Amino acid sequence: MADPTPQPSASPPQSPQAWDRGGLVAVWLQIAGVCALIGVVMTVSGAFGSDRLHVIPRFLFWMLQMSVGASVGVLVTRFVIPDAWFRVGGYRGYWVALPIAIGTSIPMCVLVAVMESLARRQAFRLALVADVFPATLVTSLAITALALIIRRRAPTHTHAAPIGAPAPKFLSRLPDKLKSAELWAVEAQDHYLRLHTSLGQDLILMRLSDAIAELEGIEGAQTHRSWWVARAAVTETERAEGRAILTLKDGSKIPVSRSYARLLRGEGWL
């Protein structure tokens, strides 16, 4: 059972699409299986000239390349790419896959060239790095795009604002009777949002995704496709019929869908 009185952290605000630690771990776990499948396909097909290797060395070649490439991509995304590049909305946001793939391909080309040299029992040549770059870039771009698609489906976390920061923009949308209330949760109902607060409930016309973007400054997370919950409002967690449930201060039970549970568990919610 989680700590019944979780305290908001003092971490600085981040982009709602930023690759936080829990998100990175969850993305790695999800794409690891896909990378393994790609490696099997490459092994069977003998892609990019790997058919000259025997089956077992070929399999190890692709498994090593897929796992190292995915790990390098995660590191490049986390420590090289600026957070601001993840703030572009819509399909334009996927252009960030290109610089990530390029940053991943550069060290991977060296690794692939070394492995090619060993497989051919030839001396390492820099020209081989250029030869393998196109294939490495295409592979890195495909895996990076996959990782971004998975990440954008992940629970959207919001973060506690530092002391002195302005109030989250979303709070200005609360009806007058709830202006002084503590916001506990936001529930999507058709085109409306039901606000769950310490002073009661009310409805406003807004999309949940837009609301979450404006809730940055309050530590919380999306627990279900229809729910965002403030972490400070959670008093208890439990499991019922194989699913996690969060209990708010007023006793309300908030569902946690299975697709969101892994990331929330990694963040210490469950």
Question: How does pLDDT run across 76-124, given as a tens digit for each residue?
Answer: 877 887 766 765 555 556 788 888 889 888 888 888 788 777 767 777 7
- Residue 4 covered by a domain: no
Question: For residue 118, what are its two tokens?
Answer: 């060993």
Within this chain, do residues 147 and 27 fall inside the same structural domain, yes or no? Answer: yes
How many domains are contained in the chain?
2
Q: How far is 228 from 224, CA to CA, in rounded Å?
A: 7
The domain that contains 216 carries what CATH number?
2.40.50.1020
- Residue 6 covered by a domain: no
- Residue 196 covered by a domain: yes
Highest averaged pLDDT of the listed ranges 123-127, 128-132, 190-194: 190-194
Residues in the chain: 270
Within this chain, do residues 246 and 195 fall inside the same structural domain, yes or no? Answer: yes
**Residue spans of alpha helices (H) in the chain:** 21-45, 55-79, 97-120, 126-152, 208-214, 258-266
Burial label, 179 (beta-carbon count in 10 A; 0-12, 13-18, 19+): exposed
Question: What secondary structure letter does DSSP report for 160?
Answer: B
Q: How far is 223 from 230, CA to CA, in rounded Å?
A: 10
- Residue 245 covered by a domain: yes
Within this chain, do residues 184 and 119 fall inside the same structural domain, yes or no? Answer: no
The residue out of 108, 129, 152 marking a domain boundary is 152
Within this chain, do residues 120 and 219 fall inside the same structural domain, yes or no? Answer: no
Q: How far is 41 from 76, CA to CA, in rounded Å?
A: 26
Placement of tokens 């070649």 in the chain: 61
Strands 200-205 and 243-248 come out as: unpaired
Question: For residue 242, what are its two tokens?
Answer: 């194989």
pLDDT, tens only, 220-261: 988 888 899 999 999 998 887 778 889 999 898 988 887 778
- Residue 146 covered by a domain: yes
Within this chain, do residues 145 and 74 fall inside the same structural domain, yes or no? Answer: yes
- Residue 14 covered by a domain: no
Alpha-carbon dihedral sign for residues 132, 137, 139, 140: positive
Within this chain, do residues 44 and 133 fall inside the same structural domain, yes or no? Answer: yes
- Residue 13 covered by a domain: no
Domain of residue 185: give its range: 164-266
Average pLDDT over residues 196-216: 91
Q: How far is 25 from 264, CA to CA, in rounded Å?
A: 11
Within this chain, do residues 145 and 34 fall inside the same structural domain, yes or no? Answer: yes
Q: What pTM did the predictor assign?
A: 0.48
- Residue 68 covered by a domain: yes
pLDDT, tens only, 19-62: 444 444 555 556 666 677 777 777 777 666 666 777 787 788 77
